[in-house]
Amino acid sequence: MIAFVSGGARSGKSGVAEALVGEWQSARGGARYYLATARPGDDEMAARIARHRRERGDGWLTLEPPLAFGEALAAMPPGSTVLLDCLTLWASRVMFEADLSEAEGRAMLSAGLDEARRRDLALVVVSNDLNEELAPRDALVWRYLAFLQALHRDLAAASDRVIEVVAGRAIDWKGDDS
């Protein structure tokens, strides 16, 4: 199973995703992994990471995967449940740190999703929906948003379940299995 949980910044999507991971892990058993894509580059981000860890609580195996997160998935025991949080930051690393093309980034995402299916992992991917604002005037920001939205379209198409979170409320767009 693959689920995509999207929503605005601080909409409550991480909480919805963590609850879904908990449901899936309870039904499947196995380990529960958290793939963290954030890096504590400043005090605010370090505080957010610490807060998220406290709110998640114990019982998570936290990994900071390489860009090719499929490599981390390949090392997990079959039947594990995984939360990748978040694709937004992963996409910025792909584009700005690794300087990869949109096609390379999309292929890397696809390879990770394929690996999750091959290993029978239940994977929940969280991402911010940044395309709800006015169009940016900066060409680089515009290119990043276009890349992120391409990833979102790919992920939504490949996912068994797609959830949008608005003001803490989960809206199922695809595959509500409750």
Q: Provide the annotated active-site residues.
A: 52
Query: From CA 17, how far away is CA 4, in angstroms rounded?
Result: 9
CA 136 to chain centre: 24
Query: From CA 17, how far away is CA 3, in angstroms rounded?
Result: 9
CB atoms within 10 A of CB 129: 19
The answer to whether 14 and 66 have CB atoms below 8 angstroms apart is: no
The answer to whether 20 and 35 have CB atoms below 8 angstroms apart is: no
Query: From CA 33, how far away is CA 130, in angstroms rounded?
Result: 26
Q: Which amino acid, residue 162?
A: V
Rounded to the nearest 5°, which phi and psi values hold at 123? Answer: -120, 130
